[in-house]
Every structure is written in C-alpha cells, then in structure tokens.
C-alpha cells in the first residue's frame, strides 16, 4: 500500500496538478519516474511520425496536398515540442494543444494510411486527461473537424472518415476518465493529509492534557510536602533557639537552617517544573536573568548574563534542560570557585540552543569547603538530560577557566 500511495501521489503531482504551483521548469517537465517515462513516450511518438511520414503518400512537398502536408507536419512538430516544455503555463498549453489538434487533424486527413494519426491521438487523449471538459471538448472537436475537412479534400475512404473520428473521440473519453480518476485521487490525497493533521493535533492535545495532569500531581504531592517540611523546619529552629547555647546546639541550628534553604530551593524548582509542564513558563532569557541575579545576590559574586541571537519560543522540555544546566553550572561555580566572576551566555542559532557558563579556576589555597557537598552526580545528570533532548554537554578546564557548554536542537 505505501508503494501504491507514493506512486499515486507522484502521478497526481506530475500529470494533473497545475504547473503554475511549481517553479522549476526542468523539474516540472522531467521530475519523477512517471514524468520521465511519459515524456519519453511522447518524444518517441513524434520521432516515429517524423521518420515514417516522408515515406507515405502524398509525398512531402510534392503537389498541393504534399505542400499542405509538409506545412501541417512542421506546424505540428513545433507546437508539439513547445507543448512538452510549457506544461507549467496553462494558457500556452491550451494554445499548443489547439494547434496540435488542427495540424494533427490535417495530417491524418491528408495521409490517412500513415502514422500521422498519432499527433491527433496525443492531442485528444492529453486534452481529456489534463484540461477541463469545455477546453478538451474544443480540442477534440477541432481535431475531428479538420480531419474530416482534409479527408474529404484528399478523398479518404469512407471507413477512414468514420473510424478516425471515433478513434479521436474514444481517446478523448479515455482521457476524461483518467481526469476524473485523478481528481478523485487528489481529493483523497487532500483528505488523507487533513486526517493526518487532525491526528497530530489530537495527539498533541492529549499530550497537553497528560502533562497538565502530571503537573497537578506534582503540585499536590511534592510541592505541598516540601512546604510542610519547610514549616516544620522553621518551627524546629525556633524551638531549638530557646534552649541554652552550646556548640552542639549551634551546629544543629545551622544544619536546620541549611535544610530550610534546600527545602525552599526545592520548592521553587518544583514550581518551575510545574510551569514547564503547563507550557506557561516565563521566556527562557527572563528565567536565566532572574537566576543570575539570585546567584549574584547569594554568592556576592558578579554574574555577566548575555543573550546572543534572536530569542524565539522553544519547547518546554528544552527550556527546562537549559535552565537546569545553567543552575547546576552556577552551583558548581559557587562550590569550586567561590567569589569568582561567572559568565552565563544563552545563544540562539539556526536550529540550535546553546548555554555556556564560564568561571575562573579556583585560586591556590582557596577555601573549598562547599566542594565536598553534594553527591557528585550533577554533571552526569546534565549529560543525561541533554542526551534525552537530542543534545550534548561538555565540561572541563580550558586556559585557566572551567567551561560548561550545552548544545541542544531547538
């Protein structure tokens, strides 16, 4: 079935559709296996006529009928060749078919016992298949009328005067049948395309509904739980503060404070994930700008945030991957190069989104107490996230700096 459908689509494209919809004349005339075959057959028909007609009666250029035959052959050849190359121009196509019809009818009438009939056959069958009913009827009528006039003048046999017109009309009817079939095929092709578009839209709508459901679940379970944990941590910190001071108590209060910070950050991340699932998150440049400002305020280190290229809407998954990459890179910079300036760049290029974070390598003897915090799987997780979105992530030292770059199709 796929092969048959593809062949039908090429047939409709090459034979039926108006050539004004396509601009490349060579591709129009010779594009597709079917079109190549069709043009080759038509050229072969013309060559056969040109080769065999000079050996038929009357002789070309001899006497009045021979001269008329030569003129008709020359006219038919010129119009035939032009018709092969102007199929993207409907007015010119109709005009050349009309000339072919008249000259083909004259050729068949003056030399009925030769291959001259082929010109009229091509004109009538092609007109029926490619033109609307009125125009194709006019072309066929011109072929029949000129044949009968020339046949009566040349004294063609009665059976020829009756049989040839029926041949022209029969080929025209065959062309009309093909035209009707192709119209139905084109309509079926349009219907199939519309069905595919509707199916894609339905699938996208179902995905949006599912994402909204997941967002609700995350909000109800994770966000509410984190909020409750944060409240209890604050309460525990308050209760501990009322106890007599001791080194152990101070350490416990410090740990609770850090846990509260992590909980609030986790709650903010959960909310961002919910917004991404609902496709109503803020534009990525705004998100990264806010992230850079928050990092600069928390770490007391300058962050230079720049945007390169023209910002454009991107998929929620791509935006979330870019945000997580920048967030993890800034966190790593805080751990391994505290107090150092950081450069965060978001670049929009053709078909791609790139996030680059650059910070100096830590100075010798710097306080790196935070470097041992965390599980050590941040970069691995970012690489997996980038790979799932079809992108790549690279990170490593270069010229005294630590560079992290994520590239992802967008």
Residue 173, both tokens: 């009817």
SS3 category, 346: strand
Residue 409, both tokens: 């199709």
Q: Of 331, 346, 312, give the one whose Cα is nearest residue 402.
A: 331
CA distances from 328 to 274, 374, 383, 404, 408 (A): 19, 11, 11, 10, 16
- The Cβ-side half-sphere exposure at 137, using a 13 Å CA radius, reads 3
CA distance 377 to 391: 19
Q: Cβ neighbours of residue 393 under 8 Å, at least 6 residues apart?
A: 325, 379, 382, 383, 386, 404, 405, 406, 407
pLDDT for 101 equals 92
CA distances from 186 to 13, 14, 404 (A): 9, 12, 52
Fold of 282-361+375-410: Heat Shock Protein 90 (3.30.565)
SS3 category, 106: helix
Predicted structure pTM score: 0.46
Q: Of 317, 103, 144, 288, give the one whose Cα is nearest residue 214.
A: 317
pLDDT for 217 equals 67
pLDDT for 319 equals 85
The domain ranges of the chain are 2-199, 282-361+375-410
Residue 79 φ/ψ, nearest 5 degrees: -65, -35
Render each residue's pLDDT in the chain as its tens digit; 410 residues: 444 444 444 444 444 444 333 333 333 333 344 567 888 888 899 899 999 988 888 888 888 888 999 999 999 999 999 988 887 788 898 999 999 999 999 999 999 888 989 999 999 999 998 888 999 999 999 999 999 999 999 888 888 999 999 999 999 999 999 888 888 888 888 888 888 888 888 887 787 677 667 766 666 666 667 666 777 777 777 777 777 878 877 888 778 877 777 777 777 777 666 666 655 567 889 989 988 888 887 767 788 999 999 999 888 778 888 988 898 888 888 877 777 889 999 999 988 999 999 988 876 655 555 444 444 557 888 888 888 888 999 988 888 888 999 999 98
């Amino acid at each position: 079935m796929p092969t048959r459908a593809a062949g039908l689509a090429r047939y409709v494209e090459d034979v039926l559709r108006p050539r004004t919809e396509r601009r490349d004349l060579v591709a129009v005339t010779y594009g597709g296996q079917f079109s190549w075959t069709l043009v080759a057959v038509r050229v072969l028909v013309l060559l056969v006529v040109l080769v065999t007609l000079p050996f038929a009666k009357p002789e070309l250029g001899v006497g009045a009928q021979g001269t008329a035959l030569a003129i008709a052959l020359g006219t038919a050849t010129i119009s035939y060749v032009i018709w092969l190359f102007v199929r993207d121009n409907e007015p010119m196509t109709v005009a050349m078919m009309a000339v072919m019809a008249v000259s083909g009818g004259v050729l068949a009438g003056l030399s009925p016992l030769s291959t001259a009939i082929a010109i009229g056959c091509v004109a009538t069958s092609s007109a029926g298949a490619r033109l609307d009913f009125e125009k194709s009827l006019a072309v066929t009528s011109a072929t029949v009328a000129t044949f009968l006039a020339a046949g009566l003048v040349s004294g063609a046999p009665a059976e020829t005067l009756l049989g040839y017109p029926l041949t022209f009309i029969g080929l025209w009817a065959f062309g009309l049948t093909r035209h009707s079939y192709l119209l139905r095929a084109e309509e079926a092709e349009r219907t199939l395309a519309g069905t595919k578009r509707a199916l894609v839209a339905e699938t996208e709508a179902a995905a949006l509904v599912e994402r909204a459901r997941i967002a609700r679940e995350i909000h109800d379970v994770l966000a509410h739980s984190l909020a409750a944990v944060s409240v209890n941590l604050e309460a525990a910190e308050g209760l501990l503060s009322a106890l007599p001071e001791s080194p152990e108590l101070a350490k416990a209060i410090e740990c609770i404070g850090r846990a509260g910070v992590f909980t609030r950050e986790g709650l903010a991340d959960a909310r961002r994930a919910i917004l991404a699932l609902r496709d109503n998150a803020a534009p990525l440049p705004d998100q990264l700008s806010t992230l850079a400002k928050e990092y600069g305020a928390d770490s007391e280190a300058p962050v230079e945030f720049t945007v390169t290229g023209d910002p454009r809407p991107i998929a929620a998954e791509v935006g979330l991957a870019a945000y997580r990459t920048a967030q993890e890179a800034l966190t790593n910079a805080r751990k391994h190069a505290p107090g150092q300036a950081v450069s965060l760049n978001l670049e929009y290029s053709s078909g791609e989104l790139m996030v680059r974070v650059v910070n100096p390598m830590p100075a010798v003897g710097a306080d790196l107490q935070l470097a041992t915090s965390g599980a050590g799987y941040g970069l691995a997780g970012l690489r997996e996230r980038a790979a799932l979105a079809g992108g790549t992530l690279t990170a490593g030292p270069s010229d005294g700096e630590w560079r992290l770059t994520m590239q992802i199709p967008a």
